[in-house]
Every structure is written in structure tokens, then in C-alpha cells.
Amino acid sequence: MDLKGKQAFSPKRLLSSFCFAGNGLKLALLEPNIRVHAAAGILVSAAGFIFQLTRMEWCILVLTIAGVIALEMVNTAIEKTVDLVTEEYRPLAKMAKDLAAGAVLLFACMAVIIGCILFIPKILTR
């Protein structure tokens, strides 16, 4: 055991970590906002196949889609944590939720801009 009382690395512990993470992905898919982002990602990926994106364009697209979904998951985790801590209205709790939602909005807007940069030239050349 290490100084914090936790077990050192073991395959069993690693497997447990992956199981917890997999459960987190399953829980995420129950959230309506994440479903919207996932559906948008699927549609944009279909467009990527139609417009035959290059490898580099695919890398950018996949990272952007994953970034939006991951950030939405963090936002959801923050919202659930704030709700767990307090049921009454608190300005700091609202600020934490609004900041997390704002981060998702900012990244989603940048994702749209990236999509435009990737797809508009391909659309115009068709």
C-alpha cells in the first residue's frame, strides 16, 4: 500500500477503473443534451464520408466531436454535483452551473466553425 492507503497498481484495479468509466459512458447516453451532441456527431461523420475527408480532416473532426461530448459530460457532472450539495438557490451554485454550460456552448460554437472550415470548401467545389 502507498502512503494514502490505496492499493498499488494491479490489473484488477485497472479493470475496475475501465468498468467505472464504461458505466459513465452509459450514464452519459441517458442525458438528453449528450444525445443531441452524439446525433450531431453522427450526422457530421456521415457528411465526412460523403465528402471524403482527408486523414487530417478526420482527426480534426473526431477530436472536435469527442471534445464537445466530453465537455458536455463534465458539465453534467458539475450540474449533478451542485444539485447533490444544495437544493436551495445559491448564487455560487448557479455560477458554477452557468460557467460549465457556457464552456459547452463556446466549444460547440467553435465546433460549428470548424465544421464550416472543413465542409464549405468541399460543398462549393461540388
Can you give the residue range of the structural domain that contains 119?
11-124
C-alpha cell at 94: 448557479
Kind plus residue range of the DSSP H or E element containing 118 = helix 91-124
Is residue 2 in a domain?
no
> d(Cα 117, Cα 120) in Å, to the nearest integer?
6
Residues noted as catalytic: 72
Is residue 52 in a domain?
yes
Is residue 5 in a domain?
no
- Give pLDDT tens digits for 70-82: 999 999 999 999 9
> d(Cα 45, Cα 65) in Å, to the nearest integer?
9
- Give pLDDT tens digits for 53-72: 999 999 999 999 999 999 99
Is residue 107 in a domain?
yes
Count of alpha carbons within 13 Å of 60, Cβ hemisphere only? Answer: 16
Single pTM value for the model: 0.88
C-alpha dihedral over 50, 52, 53, 55, to 10 degrees? 130
